[in-house]
Structure 1
Amino acid sequence: MNRYCFCLQVRPDRLDEYVERHRNVWPEMQAALRDSGWHNYSLFLRDDGLLIGYVEADDLEAAQKAMAATEVNTRWQAEMTEFFTGIEGRPPDESFLLLPEIFHLTPSTED
C-alpha cells in the first residue's frame, strides 16, 4: 500500500464551516471513498487554513479516477470547491499538491 500526502489552502474565513462539513461527511461519500480504494484517509487543518491530507492507496491515480466516476463525489466536490483558494475553478480533489515522502519510520524487526 502506498502512502500519499497532499496540501490545499482553505479560505480562512470559511474554516469553521469546513470543519463542520467534515464532522458530517455523507455516509455515501465515505462508502464511495472506501469502494474506490482510499484507505487510512485523514485531513489535518492548521488555523491559517493550510490543509494537509494523508491517504493510503494501491494506486492514487486509479482511486481518484474511480471517485471521479461517482455521482456522490461530483456533488461533494461541487459543494467543497467554494472553500478553497488557488484551485482555479477545478474541484479540490483534482487540485491538491502531492508532497514527496522523504522519511518513513518502518517497524523494527524486534517489534
Structure 2
Amino acid sequence: MTRAAFKMFLKPGFEAEYEKRHAAIWPELKKLLKDSGVYDYSIFWDKETNILFAVQKVNGDQGSQDLGSTEIVQKWWAYMADIMETNPDNSPVSIPLPELFYME
C-alpha cells in the first residue's frame, strides 16, 4: 500500500458544483478506481486559495492520476473541465505532493 497526495485548482465560485458532481460520482468511474487499487480517497478544499488537496491509498503502482488513458476518465475530465484548471487534454492541472511525515 502506498499513499499519494496531490493538489488541483478549482475555479472560483464552483465549490458547490464540484461537491455536487462528486456526490454523484459515476458508478463506473468509482468501480474503475477501486478495481485499479485506489481506495480511501479524499479531496479537501482550501477556500482561501481554491486549491483542492487530494489524498488516496493505493494497492499497486497506479493512482487515480495514472488512469487518463481510459475512456471513462477522459469523459470525467471533460465533464469537470468547466470548473477546474485543466491541461489541453482536459486532465486537471495536478501537482504531486511528496510525503514528508506520516504517523501511524
Give the TM-score category using the shorter length: 0.7 to 0.9
Structure exhibiting the larger radius of gyration computed from Cα positions: 1
In structure 1, the gaps of 5 or more residues are 107-111
TM-score when normalising by structure 2: 0.84
Paired with 2:87 and 2:24, the residues of 1 have a C-alpha distance of 26
Contact 2:29 2:72 in 1 (8 A): yes
RMSD (Å), alpha carbons: 1.8
Number of corresponding residues: 101
Say which structure is richer in helix.
1
Could you tell me the TM-score, scaled by structure 1's length?
0.79
What displacement does 1:88 show? 3.5
Q: How much has 1:42 moved relative to structure 2?
A: 1.1
The CA distance in 2 between the partners of 1:64 and 1:17, in whole Å, is 21
Q: Percent identity?
A: 31
Q: What CA deviation, in whole Å up to 9, does each residue of 1:40-98 have, x standing for no partner?
A: 1111112242100001123136x644x3243211111111122122x343411xx3111
2:40 equivalent in structure 1: 40
Specify every segment of 5 or more residues in structure 2 that has no aligned partner in the other structure, as ranges.
none
